[in-house]
Amino acid sequence: MFKGLRSLIRKSTSHCRRLPLSFSISLFSSTPSKHASSSPSIKMFDYLLTRQNFSPEAAEKASSTVKQVRNLQRADSVLSFFKQIGFSQNHIEDLVGRFPEVLSAGLDNVLRPKIKVFLDLGFNPVDMADLLSNDPLLLRRSAENRLRPSLTVLLNILGSTEEVCRLLKLSNWFLKQDIEKIMLPNIEYLKGIGICSSQIVRYLFHYPRFFLLKQESISVYVSRVDEMGFDRKSNMYLPAIRVISSMSLERWHLKLNVFRSLGLSENDILVLFRRMPIAFAVSTRKVQEVTELLLSSGKCDMSYIVLHPELLYAALNAG
């Protein structure tokens, strides 16, 4: 009996010696591990709803992509920072809903430098909050390599932070591209061929992506418009370039075929394009339908429409 007991004790102690050291310590030590001592994470939805007073809809939107808040102190600091610089609760809810990862962003090395760029350039805190809550991914752009130079270029062109904000609310592409290398040379090129600054600025608001095309492409479109006999001093010169840039050669030829099928000669088509290039930006189906409707009224023929393209344009808009 004693011999069997000694054998059992030897097997038991041998098994204990084979246990990993960490496992042995966890069994006998009351000191919490490093992981256990760290602050526990909390569900994003619960954090925003109960701790930050978000609406259920905003909390649900943010938690649909990021499930947990793993650093409560950092998240609290980020939200406090946005409140301090003038973000309303609605601004914050929109920002976090669209970009919940912002709650884990570093304040000193990520957020403060980017906010400083806007404030240094004179942006109103409310306008800045509108911009960033509408497109929080702008906070991923480099402060000094992208935000500052791009905003400075826009300020120099538009003249005020209010106009820059108005443009960026229409299109945030200008802060996602290197406009110093892309847009600025395009504007200088267009000025060089005789297009006035006021028309360029107006087109920036209506057709912003046109100015982000490659300059080589714009020069090709300019050559095509020149070949059609356009006067560079005409107010229709820039609209013609923009319309040509908006479609492939194949689509352009389809448009020409539609006007030919309506009875226009090649010269009539050129005259119509010089007078109202925007009419060529409308779908071929709509052009055909509206033109046939005008002709069926018996009040005008194709020669009249060519000489009065505003009639066609008004009908296209009304349709």
Q: What residues of the chain score a pLDDT lower than 70? A: 1-39, 318-319
Residue 280 per-residue DSSP state: G
Element at 111 (helix H, strand E): none
Predicted model pTM: 0.75
The model's pLDDT over 243-276, given as tens digits with 9 standing for 90+, comes to 999 999 999 998 899 889 888 899 999 998 999 8
Q: Which two tokens stand for residue 164?
A: 């820059």
pLDDT in tens, 85-143: 999 999 999 999 999 999 999 999 999 999 999 999 999 999 999 999 999 999 999 99
Task: Report pLDDT for 47.
Answer: 95
Check: CB of residue 97 under 8 Å from CB of residue 110: no
Domain ranges of the chain: 29-105, 106-171, 182-246, 252-318
**pLDDT score of 317:** 72
Q: What is the pLDDT of residue 319?
A: 53
The backbone torsions φ and ψ at residue 247, rounded to the nearest 5 degrees and listed phi first, read -145, 155
Q: What is the pLDDT of residue 318?
A: 67
Tell me what pLDDT residue 39 has.
Answer: 57
How far is residue 51's CA from residue 59's CA, in Å, rounded to a whole number? Answer: 11
d(CA 191, CA 214): 16
Torsion, Cα of 18, 21, 26, 28 (10° steps): 70
